[in-house]
């Protein structure tokens, strides 16, 4: 016999009303009162999850970034304000987002345009296109040279993880911004100023990695230690789960950075054998379908089967199927309006301390694993 369920229990959501939108409506009012169905409602759920749970207390918030977001200006307009406010504590991104964000910091310009150019004509005129963004090819050559000259310096002549690489690069980008009187920092300089560790899951897969590879080919001693990144990120999450108020992830797009930020829990549980349950909060903005089997579209419930998401916290998981360039500015504005800044965790400075904690916890289970 089926269990009786009260009809009233189905009507827990807000009543949909048709109050006309007024001019100059603020973002909080727009999201809370007018995003009532479909993906606007999922975005509202994500905004509330972020501001009411992820940012509550001392939860550690990680962000993964894919797609060409920084060429569209979203580094400076959205991600940097979130870092400065203490709303983002660590980041996994493609190298391309770091590389292209640096264009602005060394005095170059990118322009909004149209996606309907004749690309053979653009090529003949030395113009690069990222969908409807265009810029002169000299922007690439100048940025390439900038990074190659930096990594030839003595402090780069060693093996290091990408968090250290980005922190050191950020110091020089920060100095260039000061010299050029550029007010809005880049991802690299913000990571340096706010001590937010930034990781690249595939460091060779970008123009930044390509230029580092050239210097190594020419005799530079710089080497990227990707294995240290795997353990550092796992240490950040273990610290969040054991010593703070939990771990939250915001995923922009999908791809390799999504896997890298989520694999921290299998690294803790499956590989180190430490008893854990997965990330506590999950919010993804994506346009990828789940039925093709790709990770970018994989749902939070699928992640539960891997131990990536705590099954008990599955209700605190939201997926919004929307263009990130639309959703992220709304999420950022909503969060800045709803929450006061948090104290910066400065996790970059705590990397070795967290790694030692990971080591101690793993030694407890080593005999039985």
Q: What is the pLDDT of residue 367?
A: 61
Residue 340 CA: distances (Å) to CA of 51, 52, 56: 10, 12, 11
Q: What is the pLDDT of residue 124?
A: 97
Tokens of 95: 């190298």
Q: Which residues pair with 129 in a beta bridge?
A: 134
pLDDT tens string, the chain, 369 residues long: the values are: 456 778 888 888 788 888 999 999 999 999 999 999 999 999 999 999 999 999 999 999 999 999 999 999 999 999 999 999 999 999 999 999 999 999 999 999 999 999 999 999 999 999 999 999 999 999 999 999 999 999 999 999 999 999 999 999 999 999 999 999 999 999 999 999 999 999 999 999 999 999 999 999 999 999 999 999 999 999 999 999 999 999 999 999 999 999 999 999 999 999 999 999 999 999 999 987 887 777 777 777 777 887 888 888 888 899 999 999 999 999 999 999 999 999 999 999 999 999 999 999 999 886 665
DSSP, residue by residue, 291-352: TT--GGG--HHHHHHTTSB-GGGGGGEEEEES-HHHHHHHHHHHHHHHSPPPPP--GGGGHH
Tokens of 320: 């919004």
Element (H, E) at 239: helix 226-243
| Distance between CA atoms of residues 65 and 200, nearest Å | 10
Q: What is the pLDDT of residue 2?
A: 58
Of the listed 195, 308, 313, 345, which one is catalytic?
A: 308
| Distance between CA atoms of residues 342 and 82, nearest Å | 10
| Domains within the chain, CATH numbers bracketed | 26-362 (3.40.910.10)
| Distance between CA atoms of residues 263 and 10, nearest Å | 36
| Distance between CA atoms of residues 315 and 297, nearest Å | 18
Q: What is the pLDDT of residue 369?
A: 59
Phi and psi dihedrals of 134, rounded to 5? -130, 155
Could you tell me how many residues make up the chain? Answer: 369
Buried-exposed string 300-324: b where 16+ CB fall within 10 A, e elsewhere: beebbeebbbbeebeebbbbbbbeb
Three-state DSSP state, 145: helix
* Residue labelled with tokens 């089997």: 293
The pTM of this model reads: 0.94
With contact defined as beta carbons under 8 Å apart, do 227 and 171 qualify? Answer: no
Q: Is 152 a catalytic residue?
A: no
């Amino acid at each position: 016999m089926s269990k009786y369920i009260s009809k009233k229990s189905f009507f827990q959501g807000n009543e949909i009303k048709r109050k006309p939108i007024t001019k100059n409506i603020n973002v909080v009012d727009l999201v809370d009162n007018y995003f009532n169905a479909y993906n606007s409602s999922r975005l509202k759920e994500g905004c509330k999850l972020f501001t009411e749970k992820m940012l509550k207390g001392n939860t550690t918030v990680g962000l993964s970034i894919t797609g060409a977001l920084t060429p569209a200006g979203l580094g400076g307009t959205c991600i940097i304000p979130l870092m400065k406010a203490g709303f983002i504590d660590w980041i996994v991104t493609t190298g391309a987002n770091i590389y292209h964000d640096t264009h602005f910091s060394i005095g170059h310009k990118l322009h909004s345009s149209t996606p309907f150019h004749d690309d053979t004509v653009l090529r003949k005129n030395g113009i690069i296109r990222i969908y409807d963004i265009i810029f002169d090819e000299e922007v690439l050559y100048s940025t390439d040279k900038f990074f190659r000259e930096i990594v030839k310096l003595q402090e780069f002549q060693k093996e290091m993880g990408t968090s250290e690489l980005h922190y050191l690069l950020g110091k020089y980008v920060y100095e260039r911004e000061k010299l050029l009187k550029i007010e809005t920092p880049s991802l690299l300089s913000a990571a340096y100023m706010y001590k937010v560790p930034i990781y690249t899951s595939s460091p060779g897969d970008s123009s930044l990695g390509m230029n580092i590879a050239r210097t190594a080919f020419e005799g530079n001693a710089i080497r990227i230690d990707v294995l240290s990144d795997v353990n550092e990120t796992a240490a950040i999450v273990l610290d969040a789960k054991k010593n703070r108020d939990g771990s939250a992830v915001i995923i922009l797009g999908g791809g390799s950075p999504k896997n890298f930020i989520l694999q921290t829990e299998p690294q803790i549980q499956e590989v180190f054998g430490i008893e854990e349950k997965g990330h506590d909060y999950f919010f993804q903005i994506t346009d990828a379908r789940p039925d093709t089997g790709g990770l970018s579209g994989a749902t939070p419930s699928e992640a539960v089967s891997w131990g990536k998401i705590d099954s008990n916290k599955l209700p605190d998981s939201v997926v919004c199927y929307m263009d990130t360039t639309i959703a992220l500015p709304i999420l950022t504005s909503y969060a800045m309006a709803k929450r006061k800044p948090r104290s910066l965790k400065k996790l970059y400075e705590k990397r070795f301390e967290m790694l030692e904690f990971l080591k101690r916890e793993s030694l407890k289970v080593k005999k039985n694993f």
